Structure 1
């Protein structure tokens, strides 16, 4: 029996059925949240033809410490969270399925940043709102043979002075994505609230609309 408690929770499904959707969005919530938060985001985005797959962190947190803590202080929870993402996304990324975009907010954006930079999966795109890769210092990232993030567009949002996610780490994360070949659009708001504001929701809707599969064109 697996000791990974994140895998005891099946992702919530919302919106169109994945098998008939024009786009799948795998959306990861933040600390203290649940899939219900991402259901609200999906309803605000309000884009037909999208299947939302919403994982649930055990005890509502993907890892215990802040994302800038030494990585070992977040183990084994971090490895378990990354394993859960791999397990959830593997069946979504089949050759015959619709395009897949990942979206994360806060701790979810941090977790997805770490996964994207480590695994460099082939996706239709990524939206990372108020998050960056983990660890106390900046890191260099190398494209894996045959992988990398060339051709992917990563949309990032953050606040100039967020209470939990410093701008310098978001900027370092955007540079890391560029170093692996991704095109990055980073929007920085003069907005101290730790949330998705109406402008970012509008931009997420536009970003996802451009990645809808052929069945929606």
Structure 2
């Protein structure tokens, strides 16, 4: 007897963390964590920027799938997708981010600038989400992560050419994203018509709060 696979959409609860008050937001940062992280811990890297740049609000959604990082107990992490039923997971997290943005924006001033930052797996996650919709952020930041290669070239070009700002940030000692791979990524982005700003920092596969603060300060200057 053959096994037939089916899919069923069900209601579920998604979780996100927030720094700052939406009602007074001048720039809203939507930030996605990497593989095996949780939103409540990930968002702490942005505290310096949120505290020192007036009007900066940071919202970190959490991946819909959680798991124990080691064995069957202890620390828990989350992921945005795996290779199993991958296309469905992409549909699910894209719908989740759509709903989240629809909830956040009406609570912000109408002229709020949206910065979208993805770290590691979160960079690919946010890129796939933006590719599937019509929303265009003021700034897309790919931090220690990549823009997906297996996407429709026309859709990729349409997104990347309409982005006001695109920044690629990498550590000079990142074993997950060595310089050769970064250069290949930059070439891919340029082939799609993008003009990425590349920034290197001393470090590995990690976020740097002082650099996040610098990005927030620069965004605030652009708004003026």
TM-score (norm 1): 0.73
Mapped contact 2:142–2:169 kept (Cα < 8 A): yes
Relative to structure 1, is the Cα distance of residues 13 and 209 closer, same or farther in structure 2, using a 3 angstrom cutoff?
same
Unpaired segments ≥5 residues, structure 1: 66-71
Mapped contact 1:121–1:149 kept (Cα < 8 A): no
Match of 1:207 in 2: 218
Match of 2:95 in 1: 83
Q: Equivalent of 1:128, from 127, 136, 142?
A: 142
Give deviations 1:66-111, integer Å, cap 9, x for gaps: xxxxxx7634222222222222223445692511111111111121
Q: Does residue 19 in structure 1 map to residue 18 in structure 2?
A: no
* 1:98-113 equivalence runs, <5 A: 98-113=112-127
Deviation at 1:44, TM superposition (A): 2.9
Q: Equivalent of 1:63, from 68, 71, 81?
A: 81
Distance in 2 between the 1:143 and 1:97 partners? Answer: 26
Match of 2:59 in 1: 53
Distance in 2 between the 1:93 and 1:170 partners? Answer: 33
Q: Equivalent of 1:164, from 176, 182, 194?
A: 176
Q: Give the count of matched residue pairs.
A: 201
Match of 1:69 in 2: none
Q: What is the alpha-carbon root mean square deviation over aligned residues?
A: 3.3
Mapped contact 1:148–1:181 kept (Cα < 8 A): yes
TM-score (norm 2): 0.72
Match of 1:153 in 2: 165
Distance in 1 between the 2:39 and 2:95 partners? Answer: 18
Relative to structure 1, is the Cα distance of residues 144 and 129 closer, same or farther in structure 2, using a 3 angstrom cutoff?
closer
Match of 2:14 in 1: 9
Relative to structure 1, is the Cα distance of residues 119 and 183 closer, same or farther in structure 2, using a 3 angstrom cutoff?
farther
Relative to structure 1, is the Cα distance of residues 123 and 61 closer, same or farther in structure 2, using a 3 angstrom cutoff?
same
Give deviations 1:133-188, integer Å, cap 9, x for gaps: 33xx6666215898663351111111355333354554444445445554310123
The structure whose Rg is larger is 2
Relative to structure 1, is the Cα distance of residues 207 and 141 closer, same or farther in structure 2, using a 3 angstrom cutoff?
farther
Greater mean deviation of Cα atoms: 147-156 or 39-48? 147-156
SS class of match (1:42): helix
